[in-house]
């Protein structure tokens, strides 16, 4: 099996595992309040790639751990990611009409319900992280994972990055400033995903640190690829309109560096990510092929 076939089979299998778990963890649409639960499920099951939860599972396995204890954590990461997308799409933020090929939450359910759906997903993620599972985890590992993910989602990470991104429309950042925005906004949760998987597997500090390096670089690579696709991607394939960054006056890697230099930076970060896990054995193959997938993705 070549790497492309392996990747597609791996992603499909892990996506199915995450989808089934999310179906179990989230209340059904008939739960009260019905409009809120319907909105939550609408966005969670809108067809995401599940990259963050899959990275968490892959990191646990790369460190010799069992995947089962990582599944609730992987799902919590997806809930946090989905909440961030709902809020990012709001008129006060990026004002997007489509996400994953479907009308955005606020377009379907109203801005108020969309805001509450995002709030609910963030909160439910921490309910999931802290709940007792059949697979018992040492309290120290559970606490370390909660701290890792909370820090990545908060002011020092994703929320702070979003605030800097909004500010950047008025105060145009340089390359260093742009990278800082995306290390927080996009990269922090990806780093938390791989480090959490390693922590759950009982990995050494050295391996956790190495995965942090890997996650940091693929986080930036993911954003550069996203910026490039916003310029030249197929809006039908991506499920959202292209050219929106330019329309909003946002500074992106292509607008700052040009497309060719942005592509070179994308390759540079991908290679740095792979170098970060060079000492890992064949169990890290999924992490390696995911890094290439991020660099070469078309949607």
From CA 146, how far away is CA 293, in angstroms rounded?
28
Angle at 77 between CA 63 and CA 54, to 5 degrees: 45
Backbone angles phi, psi at 137, to 5 degrees: -120, 145
Taking a C-beta distance cutoff of 8 angstroms, is the pair 43, 117 a contact? yes
Taking a C-beta distance cutoff of 8 angstroms, is the pair 191, 215 a contact? yes
Question: Hey, is 103 helix, strand or coil?
Answer: strand
From CA 235, how far away is CA 136, in angstroms rounded?
44
- Name every residue whose Cβ is closer than 8 Å to that of residue 264 and which is 6 or more positions away in sequence: none
Residue where the block lists tokens 């409009």: 35
* Domain assignment of residue 198, given as a range: 3-296
The pLDDT value recorded for residue 5 is 85
The pLDDT value recorded for residue 128 is 93
The pLDDT value recorded for residue 299 is 67
**Number of domains into which the chain is organized:** 1
Plot region of 249 (φ>0 → left; ψ -120 to 50 → alpha; else → beta)? left
From CA 163, how far away is CA 107, in angstroms rounded?
23
Whole-angstrom CA distances from 281 to 91, 278, 288 are 46, 8, 11
Taking a C-beta distance cutoff of 8 angstroms, is the pair 153, 77 a contact? no
Task: From 42, 17, 16, select the one nearest 29 (Cα to Cα).
Answer: 42
From CA 8, how far away is CA 288, in angstroms rounded?
13
End-to-end CA distance of the chain: 24
- Burial string for 204-236 (b: 16+ CB within 10 Å, else e) reads eeebbebbbbbbbbbbbbbbbbbbbbbbebebe
Residue where the block lists tokens 């938390």: 192
Domain harbouring 224, CATH code: 1.10.600.10
Give the pLDDT means over successive 10-residue stretches in the chain (299 positions). 84 96 93 94 93 97 94 97 95 88 92 96 95 73 95 97 89 92 96 97 97 97 92 61 63 92 96 97 96 85
Residue where the block lists tokens 């377009």: 107
Q: Name the maximum alpha-carbon separation found in the chain.
A: 51
Question: Hey, is 173 helix, strand or coil?
Answer: coil
Per the DSSP assignment, residues forming a β-bridge with 103 are: 98
Q: Which of the 8 DSSP states describes residue 28?
A: P
């Amino acid at each position: 099996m070549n790497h492309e076939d392996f990747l597609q089979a791996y992603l499909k299998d892990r996506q199915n595992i995450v989808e089934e778990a999310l179906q179990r963890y989230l209340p059904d649409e008939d739960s009260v309040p019905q409009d809120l639960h319907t909105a939550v499920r609408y966005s969670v099951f809108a067809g995401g790639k599940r990259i963050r939860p899959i990275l968490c599972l892959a990191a646990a396995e790369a460190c010799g751990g069992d995947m089962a204890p990582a599944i609730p954590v992987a799902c919590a990461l997806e809930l946090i990611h989905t909440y961030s997308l709902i809020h990012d799409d709001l008129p006060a933020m990026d004002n997007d009409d489509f996400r994953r090929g479907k009308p955005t939450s606020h377009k379907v359910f109203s801005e108020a319900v969309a805001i509450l759906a995002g709030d609910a997903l963030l909160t439910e993620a921490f309910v999931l992280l802290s709940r007792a599972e059949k697979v018992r985890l040492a309290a120290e590992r559970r606490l370390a994972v909660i701290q890792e993910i909370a820090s990545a989602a908060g002011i020092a990470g994703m929320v702070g990055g979003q605030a800097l991104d909004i500010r950047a429309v008025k105060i145009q950042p340089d390359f260093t400033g742009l990278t800082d925005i995306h290390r927080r906004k996009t990269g922090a949760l990806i780093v938390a995903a791989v480090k959490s998987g390693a922590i759950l597997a009982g990995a050494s500090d050295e391996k956790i640190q190495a995965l942090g390096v890997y996650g940091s670089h693929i986080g930036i690579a993911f954003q550069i690829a996203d910026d490039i696709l916003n310029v030249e991607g197929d809006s039908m394939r991506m499920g959202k309109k292209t050219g929106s960054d330019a329309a909003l006056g946002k500074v992106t890697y292509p607008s700052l560096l040009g497309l060719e230099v942005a592509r070179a930076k994308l390759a540079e970060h991908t290679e740095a990510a792979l170098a970060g896990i060079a000492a890992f054995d064949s169990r890290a193959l999924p992490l390696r092929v995911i890094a290439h997938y991020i660099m070469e993705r078309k949607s």
